Amino acid sequence: MKDELEDLAGHRLNALINIETNKARVGRWYDKKVKAKTFDQGDLVWKLVLPIGTKDPKFGKWSPTWEGPYKISRCVPGNAYILETLEGEEFSRALNGKYLKILPKCLGRCIADYMENQLVSNIADAGNIAFSTKIRKS
């Protein structure tokens, strides 16, 4: 009877060892498939609409899940990033990298070109206003 109890403890110990090795094997397989998301300063990203699951009543289930684009202002330790709008307004809180998605390069170039054209047109508009006021004064 005592031998059977010792044998049962040995079986339990072997089962525990098998469970630990299987967990380690599954963990290695999972880590092999995971792609780490890292962003550099100046990258254009989409930000997940937080809190998750909030929906605009106007659009219902067709509410957008991503908003942006935003620019990475600074990298903070722990896979966190401080974002800024394209106009240069910086967010006060850091956001975890799992809530960010990189903007495709072609779309990022289009947005950068658009922002550059907006800046040029705003400067041109300011020059036209200044020019027109000079005409009126004389």
Q: Is residue 22 domain-shared with residue 7, that is, in the same domain?
A: yes
Nearest Cα to Cα of residue 75 among 97, 104, 98, 103: 97
Joined together, the tokens standing for residue 95 give: 């956001």
Burial 88-97 (b: 16+ CB within 10 A, else e): eeeeeebbeb
Q: Are residues 96 and 108 in the same domain?
A: no
Average pLDDT over residues 44-69: 83
Are residues 60 and 9 both part of a single domain?
no
Contact 45, 69 (CB under 8 A): yes
Residue 116 CB coordination number (10 Å): 10
- Asked if 62 and 7 sit in the same domain, the reply is no
Pairing type for strands 44-48 and 100-102 reads antiparallel
pLDDT at 129 over 50: no
Same domain, 82 and 61: yes
Report whether pLDDT(130) > 50: no
pLDDT range class, residue 103, cuts 50, 70, 90: confident
Residue 137: per-residue pLDDT: 44
Same structural domain, 108 and 138: yes
CATH no. for residue 82?
Answer: 2.30.30.140
CB 100 within 8 A of CB 37: yes
Same domain, 77 and 90: yes
70-91 pLDDT per residue, tens = 999 999 998 899 999 988 899 9
Residues spanned by the domain of 129: 104-138
Residue 16 has pLDDT above 70, yes or no: yes
The pLDDT tens digits of the residues spanning 31-41 come to 888 877 889 99
Judge if 52 and 10 occupy the same domain. Answer: no
On whether both 89 and 119 belong to a single domain, the answer is no
> Would you say residue 132 has pLDDT above 80?
no
Starting from the edge strand earliest in sequence, which strands make up the sheet with 44-48, in order? 95-96, 80-84, 66-76, 44-48, 100-102
Question: Do 45 and 77 sit in the same domain of this protein?
Answer: yes
Domain count, the chain: 3
- Are 116 and 90 contained in the same domain? no
Residues 51 and 12 in one domain: no
Task: Specify which residues 72 forms β-bridges with.
Answer: 83
- What pTM was estimated for this model as a whole? 0.59
Average pLDDT, whole number, for the chain? Answer: 80
